[in-house]
Amino acid sequence: MLAQTQLGGSMIRVSSVFAAGFLAAVMSVVAAAPARADDPAFLALSAGYYDINDNFDAAEARIEYRHDEKFWIFKPFAGVMATSDAAVHGYAGVLVDIYFGRRWVLTPSFAPGLYHDGDGKDLGGAVQFRSQLELSYRFNDRSRLGLSVNHISNASIYDSNPGTESVAITYAIPLGN
């Protein structure tokens, strides 16, 4: 359970403060990182372990389309995740590619979406938000092999907000040029 602090009658989640700090750090790194205009769109395929911090663990598979167009520093993407417990999460959001040299790419992303728990973990409601951090190795053909960690929760818009975390291996296949 996340720690909470009482401030002026309203609850402020420590995770929100962490997320804001993380976003500020990412933005400062992105501003200094060189742009990589040569990266195409990607079809990303992932396999992983769902609900690593709780007792509703399951196998997870994801497929995503990652657009090549940039809007300022952000690239749109959309995907669907399914678990071996029949949970399904469809989402669309934005990502940022942060390059460390030619080979390593750090990709934070954020995406709201709709979730159905199937026979798996009840996350409190249909509307869920996924934040993810992925570190990938970029091959000569621009394909990428990476490891990601993500968190899905409803940001307390429902009475119950158990959230879940996943870890996955992703292979991103370049599309087009």
Per residue of the chain (177 residues), give pLDDT as tens.
344 444 433 334 444 444 554 554 455 444 444 445 568 999 999 999 999 988 889 999 999 999 999 999 999 999 999 999 999 999 999 999 999 999 999 999 999 999 999 999 999 999 999 999 999 999 999 999 999 999 999 999 999 999 999 999 999 999 986
Quote the radius of gyration of the chain (alpha carbons, Å).
Answer: 17
Among candidates 164, 102, 111, 110, which has minimal Cα distance to 136?
A: 102
Q: What is the DSSP letter of 14?
A: H
CB 44 within 8 Å of CB 64: yes
Residue 145, strand partner residues: 137, 171
